[in-house]
Structure 1
Amino acid sequence: MFLVNSLSQLPDTARQILTHAGSNKIFVFYGDMGAGKTTLIKELCATLGVQEAVTSPTFSIVNEYIITGGKIYHFDFYRLKTESEALDMGYEEYFYSDNYCFIEWPEKIPNLLPENFTRISIQVTGADSREITVENIS
């Protein structure tokens, strides 16, 4: 568990999360609206070498970023009404591409998540503070 009391702590937290994940490249993010899922994903992307602006894919559902040796796919499934919408967009091509996948609102696609992933739960504990729990699921 990580206690983050300011944005200045995010770079170190992101490095530790990636180390904890090991070879896992699928990350699912749980937290209330405004908890900081996208903010943490921006920092993870920066740590992995993304040079371009990282934005929430709320309307596009998925954003793609280039890193050395691969890509990062950033999903926001908040607007999905059914899991079949993820099927229609070909989620398997992304999830099983051996590229990083950062998934916001995975509770919208519970039956489509792969067997192995890193689960990140963000709990708001104050105006600028968060409790981040990280666990590898297999």
Structure 2
Amino acid sequence: MSVLKINSLEEINAVAKEFLSLVGDKRIFALQGAMGVGKTTFVKAVCEELGVEDTINSPTFAIVNEYHTAKDKLVYHFDFYRIEDVQEAYDFGYEDYFYSQAMCFIEWPEKIESILPQDTVEVLFEEQTDGTRSIMIH
């Protein structure tokens, strides 16, 4: 397990860069943590470090956003908060995303836990009492 700490928004991109070096060639990330803890903001910073030039925002209503890096790689960002049943993930063809060569960042993974690939990396976000964020990578 690795632990990263974000002391302020000014250093989030440096932490995102460190995250990328820690995870190596891993591709599937289950982002867990309370609403408002900074999961989407962190994914935005990671995408920026990967060279994504698209507008990066929350996929809450679309369920999945697709981003392209400058090196023509794909990044998928999922938000399963609004789904009621894992069947909805089957309906939109989650396999095409999870089993592609793209990086996948999944918010609210507990809604689809039964279909997460075995090599999914758990990333737990917690807000500390001083307002900083810790990120535990399992």
The interval holding the TM-score normalised by the smaller chain is: over 0.9
Which residue of the partner structure matches residue 12 of structure 1? Answer: 14
> CA deviation digits over 1:69-104, x for unaligned, max 9?
321110000001000000000000000011011100
Gapped regions of structure 2 (runs ≥ 5): none
Where does residue 31 of structure 1 map in the other structure? 33
CA drift at 1:127: 6.0
Give 5+ residue unaligned stretches, structure 1: none
- Letter of the 1:72 partner, please give it: V
Kindly indicate whether residue 112 of structure 2 is the aligned counterpart of residue 109 of structure 1: yes
What one-letter code is carried by the residue in structure 2 that aligns with 1:123? E
> For 1:1-138, what aligned pairs fall within 5 Å after superposition?
1-67=3-69, 68-126=71-129, 128-135=131-138
Paired residues, number = 135
Deviations 1:35-79 (A, max 9, x none): 100000000000011112100000000000111132111000000
Deviation at residue 128 of structure 1 after TM alignment: 3.6
Taking the aligned partners of 1:45 and 1:69, their CA distance within structure 2 comes to 13
Q: Distance in 2 between matches of 1:50 and 1:111?
A: 30
- Aligned AA (1:45): C
Give the TM-score taking structure 2 as reference length. Answer: 0.94
Query: By how many angstroms is 1:19 displaced?
Result: 1.2
Counterparts of 2:125 and 2:4 in 1: how far apart (Å)? 10
SS of 2:84 mapped into structure 1: coil
User: d(CA) in 2 for partners of 1:93 and 1:22?
Assistant: 22
Q: Which amino acid aligns with 2:123?
A: I
2:51 maps to a residue whose letter is G
The amino acid of 1:88's aligned partner reads D
Q: CA deviation at 1:9?
A: 1.6
The one-letter code of the counterpart of 2:63 is: I
Letter in 2 for 1:46: E
